[in-house]
Amino acid sequence: MRILTIEDDPGLLTTIRQHMDRAGFVIDGAADGITGEEMGHDPGYALAILDLGLPDRPGLQVLANWRRAGVSLPVIILTARNSWRERINGLEAGADDYLGKPFHIEELITRVRTVLRRCHARIQGPLSAESLQLDEQRKEVRISPETVIPLTATEFKLLRCFLLNPGRVLSKETLFFNLYNTDDDPELDIIETHVMRLRKKIGEHRILTLRGHGYRLAAQSDRP
């Protein structure tokens, strides 16, 4: 799952990127408001973390411009401007949540997960599909009441992407976008390898291949 972080403090951006990566998210960063606003029009982002005190264009204006343009990207405002008035202005402009600096990175990760679940209204409780249940804290998947399997970071991101998109065919390009940062340089065909390894852990029948289109999480109706 890919998240846009618009933050002009390079040290803080690096910290967010490192911790969010370990939590299973892919982070793209922008250091100014104009660049960040342009990037936010990409429909591939699941959420934006937006600082208010940005160079070139203030974060509040970026958010207001997005909403006027019909960009429904969920937004968490992250800023040192922590007064009640700033909170109200941000929320009224269309933010989904607000976190003041300084903050604990664990709280930011929790708020990101909460906003994403709120935006995926169909999701209640842990991410699951039939007998699969993903533990986002432990990076494990339960495939039966008795069997829990640990996942690598990439397997975790891949399975979560499938669970967040039940019934949807996901192309290699879509999966690649949700697994890798822009500065990573693997080949697109690596997706086939990751899908194969995930199948070995959760069951070959659980991920369907649609030739020329991509992959889809199997549903009960797919069974003969």
**13 and 109 together in one domain:** yes
Q: Using one digit for the tens of pLDDT, what is the confidence trace for 29-87?
A: 999 999 999 999 998 899 999 998 899 999 999 999 999 999 999 999 987 766 677 77
CATH of the domain at 49: 3.40.50.2300
**113 and 69 together in one domain:** yes
**100 and 177 together in one domain:** no
Mark the ranges of the chain whose per-residue pLDDT is less than 70: 81-83, 120-125, 182-185, 220-221, 223-224
Give the per-residue pLDDT at 125.
61
**10 and 107 together in one domain:** yes
**7 and 86 together in one domain:** yes
Phi, psi of 93 (to 5 degrees): -75, -10
Q: Which among 102, 119, 136 is the end of a domain? A: 119
Q: How far is Cα 162 from Cα 169, in angstroms, rounded to an integer?
A: 9
Domain extent, residue 161, equals: 128-222
**11 and 103 together in one domain:** yes
**16 and 99 together in one domain:** yes
Listed in sequence order, the residues at least 6 apart from 9 whose beta carbon sits closer than 8 Å to its beta carbon are: 51
Q: Which among 119, 148, 167 is the end of a domain? A: 119
Give the per-residue pLDDT at 109.
93
How many domains is the chain partitioned into structurally?
Answer: 2
Question: Over the range 127-155, which residues count as b (16 or more CB within 10 Å of their CB) and which as e?
Answer: bebeebbbeeeebebbbeeeeeeebeebb
Listed in sequence order, the residues at least 6 apart from 32 whose beta carbon sits closer than 8 Å to its beta carbon are: 6, 8, 54, 55, 56, 57
CATH of the domain at 192: 1.10.10.10
Give the per-residue pLDDT at 82.
61
Question: Quick count: other Cβ atoms within 10 Å of Cβ 184?
Answer: 10
pTM of the model: 0.74
**25 and 82 together in one domain:** yes
**19 and 82 together in one domain:** yes
Q: How far is Cα 14 from Cα 177, in angstroms, rounded to an integer?
A: 20
Q: Which among 98, 119, 140 is the end of a domain? A: 119
**112 and 156 together in one domain:** no
**147 and 55 together in one domain:** no
**7 and 115 together in one domain:** yes
Give the per-residue pLDDT at 187.
84
